[in-house]
Amino acid sequence: MQGGRREWWRAGPGIGYTGAMIQTSSQQESIPDAPGSQTVVSVTGLTKRFGDRLVVDNISFAIQRGQCVGFLGPNGAGKTTCINMLLGLVEKSAGEIRIFDLEAPRFHREIKARIGVVPQADSLDPDLSVAENLRTYAGYFRIPRRLARGRVEELLLFFALHNRRDEIIEHLSGGQRRRLLLARALINEPELLILDEPTIGLDPQARHLIWERLAILQAQGTTMLLTSHYLDEVARLSQQVLILDHGHVVVQGEPRQLITDLVGLEVFEVDGTPAELDALEASFKQCNATLERVGDKLYVYAREDCSRLEKVLGTSGSWVRRPANLEDLFIQLTGRSLRET
């Protein structure tokens, strides 16, 4: 099983399909959530090796009830592998995972019943219609039919899919599929949503609709673990972010605080010739700022109000001044070079 992946609802020792078949488990009765527990996910020393390649290296974090945690990192940083270990889809090499105060993957069935997942790769059933996909998924959780019908209708409306309810999956656009994956993840009214790139490959309209729906769920108190490369949206939604690189957590904390502490207040981006940028660098050294040259561009990460230097920049329009953001932090901590391995 080392390195292998299974469908979410099929993951589980012993049987092919599990869903939320927890009601009959005597184990379940003996392992209630810790009363009043606010920690929904607790991960300690999580490690994964594929052969001799270490892809997740001793990661620890916690998610509190109602919190959204943004799980960020360049391609190949280990985000999906971490998520798959949380879900019991990939075997961990070391470490401890507790979800709802239950040990994972030991109590994976009990845990799964309370989680909703949007996987990075589309896993809808292509032979079924939109509504059938939702109904079938509800079946995995043994949701009574009448209740399931009601939830399917609500979710189709919430994700603006009600007009496509009888369409087979093949006929849906990428955006409609992602919306359906999200709808499917909510069918069991999960306490914890795990979202691996929920808006991957979508146009701005489809993305906005999904982010808007996630914001509503967040406001309603759903706990979330979210990976995405749309950092503005992550910053808006998350109370905490973890930035991973090469399997390590390089930083974790409240996004605005991290940006202010590690990047600064605002950023000037200036285009110019090498001589012009040299002169500007000299001027900006009067301000408490970090400077970075990338090709014919100068980035000034200002830790204080550097307005007085605007006159040095002139009126040529070859510069912009903007608030520092999560992408600045991400680039500063993980570098600008593309990850090939």
Ligand X SMILES: Nc1ncnc2c1ncn2[C@@H]1O[C@H](COP(=O)(O)OP(=O)(O)OP(=O)(O)O)[C@@H](O)[C@H]1O
The CA-atom distances, in angstroms, between 221 and each of 69, 80, 191, 259 are: 13, 24, 9, 25
Could you tell me if 130 and 161 are in contact, meaning their C-beta atoms sit under 8 angstroms apart? yes
Decide which of Mg ion, ligand X, none touches 337; Cβ closer than 5 to 8 Å per partner kind: none
- Residue 73 interacts with ligand X (CB under 6 A)? yes
| Alpha helices (runs of H) in the chain, residue ranges in sequence order | 26-29, 79-86, 108-112, 130-140, 145-158, 174-185, 204-219, 231-237, 255-262, 274-284, 310-313, 326-334
Question: Interface with ligand X by CB under 6 A: which range of 79-87, 109-117, 162-170, 273-281?
Answer: 79-87
Q: How far is the CB of 76 from Mg ion (least distance, A)?
A: 8
Residue whose CB is less far from ligand X, 80 or 334: 80
**132, amino acid identity:** E
CB nearer to Mg ion: pick between 174 and 274: 174
Return the SS3 of 213.
helix
70 near ligand X (CB under 6 A): no
Residue 196: how many other CB atoms lie within 10 Å: 21
Interacting partner of 81 out of ligand X, Mg ion, none (Cβ under 5 to 8 A depending on kind): ligand X
Residue 240 forms beta bridges with which residues?
69
Which residues form the interface with Mg ion (CB under 5 A)? 79-80, 120
Residue 3 binds ligand X, judged by CB under 6 A:
yes
Residue 76 interaction partner, one of Mg ion, ligand X, none, beta carbon < 5-8 Å per kind? ligand X
Between 78 and 255, name the residue whose CB sits nearer to Mg ion.
78
Nearer to ligand X, 54 or 312 (CB): 54
Contact call for residues 319 and 266 (beta carbons, < 8 A) = no
Which positions from 28 through 57 interact with ligand X, judged by CB under 6 A? 50, 55
Residues that bind ligand X in the complex, under the rule CB under 6 A: 3, 50, 55, 73, 75-81, 120
